A and B are shown apart, each in its own frame.
Chain A
């Protein structure tokens, strides 16, 4: 089984809809991250969390919110989706003691019509 899983893997939604992307990990890591990937822009950090009660904004947090329900779960929400949020979304984890290596999930491909 994969160490970092994301659901759904693909999603099509309409402008204005609320959508949640979920990430779960079995690595026991305390740090979790959400990125989006766009062609020509690489990966950009949306939010990150170093512990269950810790939430931090990344480079592009506007239009997104997150919830760290447990150490193993980190959800990303789009409260009112818009077409320019169409992208590939990745969750990643890292060990707070060995911070420098991130482990990525397989990604969620989101299309907002």
Chain B
């Protein structure tokens, strides 16, 4: 079946620290992979995506590379800001449905 496993939180970092949130997936076929972000009190927003192996998605300083050999799509940012505090969801899309991970809460302290 299809599923997404992501790093459990919560994660607390100091401003300007390096961020990695791990995500691995199980899927039939060739899914597209996504990171969504949820700010407090809001719905999810697309952060970045990659549609095929070796693609790198990037946005707002965040990056993730679609690694088929390790079935991974880890989210990274070189220098986090307080405004990055949110819950991050890894997801895959198979053509009919999205499958979401459980979410990782990130808090960035000044």
Contact = CB atoms under 8 A, between A and B. Distances in A.
A108 to B, nearest CB: 10
Interface in A89-105: 90, 92, 99-102, 104-105
A104 B44 contact: yes
Contacts of B34: 100
Interface residues of B, number: 19
Determine the interface band of chain A, counting residues with CB < 8 A from chain B.
20 to 34
A97 B43 CA distance: 23
B51 A100 contact: yes
Q: Which of A40, A44, A58, A104 has the most CB of B within 10 A?
A: A104
Contact of A99 (B95, B101, B102, B103): B95
B32 interface: yes
Nearest to B49: A100
Interface of A: 4, 33, 35, 40-45, 48, 58, 90, 92, 99-102, 104-107
Given A45-B97, A90-B44, A102-B44, 5 more contacts: A42-B100, A92-B43, A100-B32, A100-B49, A102-B98
Interface of B: 32, 34, 41-46, 49, 51, 89, 93, 95, 97-98, 100-103
